[in-house]
Structure 1
């Protein structure tokens, strides 16, 4: 099955994608992770993308489309994929139709006020890349798993989050109409316990 997860930053797409991809035995492809790895490794794509990401802006289409085309051509995508973080615009969705059209699109819906709360408290371990929320941490600076340093990512700071949500509503939300018109859209309430959200997503795919 070829799947796309839509939803604003902080909706839990990454968490849910891991659960769904293991159930369906298809690779979870997060464009955010792909981009962050490219930034870390200082590839040409990574350096080009970093300037946009630091400002809370979307990375240009041609950069993302090339990355996605390359990734979807790999052998592990033969039986399908789960894309998280792409497409973000109708133009990208049209490009994806040419590369490998999705069978189903899941929209994870969460109110903005909850997203701000979730994202502003998010910390990422610089060593193991684990993601944690300060409400669940005894120490806000040390990773509970590997004792690495916890980082408050630039794009998780309140002013950047507000910009990211504005960009999402302006540019990404039209995808909901695009995929709805194709009869491929399922919307799931993401403002629940993660295990309940997963259950509802799997039920929507049956």
Structure 2
């Protein structure tokens, strides 16, 4: 299966992607995780994107598209993958379509969440990380989140219409309890596979 998760920061994409990844034994490819790893490793790419990530800016289409293209080409993604955090623009979606060629995405899953709930989730995630002795993500702060939400509305929200026109979009209420959202996604994927 080849899947994409859409949704604003804090919508639960990573949580739900982990469920689907385990259920279907496909790698969960989080562009946020890939980019944070580059920053932590001190790579040339990491150094060039660190400030943009901390301030909540989108990474340049060419940069993130090359990272995704490289990752999708690895052997563990040959049988399928789940993209979380990519595409974020229509231009990236066009690139992904050309990268996949004749292979089409099986489904694009969008988690729709009220913005006030998103802010509460991000604050709770940062507090839990700090309470556990970890370091909060550089982009887990209110100023960065507000900027990321604004960018999401202008840059990423148009993907809803893009994938709806292609008949690939499945929207869910991400405000619902985690188990309910998971059941909805797994049920839809089982239906697609004729199970």
Structure 1: which 5+ residue stretches go unaligned?
A: 124-133, 144-148
Once the 2 structures are TM-superposed, how far is the Cα of residue 185 of structure 1 from its aligned partner?
0.3
1:128-175 CA distance string (max 9 Å, x none): xxxxxx4xx5xx7442xxxxx222333111111111100000100000
The aligned counterpart of 1:201 is: 185
Partner SS for 1:150: coil
Residues 95, 141 of structure 1: alpha-carbon distance in 2 compared, 3 angstrom cutoff: closer
Larger relative contact order, structure 1 or 2 (CA cutoff 8 Å, min sep 6): 2
147, 150, 154: which one aligns with 2:138: 154
Output the CA distance in 2 between the equivalents of 1:190 and 1:105: 14
| 2:90 maps to 1:87 | no
TM-score (norm 2): 0.92
Once the 2 structures are TM-superposed, how far is the Cα of residue 21 of structure 1 from its aligned partner?
0.9
State the Cα RMSD in Å. 1.3
Give the helix-richer structure, 1 or 2: 2
The aligned counterpart of 1:117 is: 120
Within a 5 Å distance, the mapping from 1:9-88 to structure 2 comes to 9-88=9-88
Runs of 4+ aligned structure 1 residues displaced above 6 Å come to none
Structure 2: which 5+ residue stretches go unaligned?
A: none
Partner SS for 1:33: helix
Aligned length: 187
TM-score (norm 1): 0.87
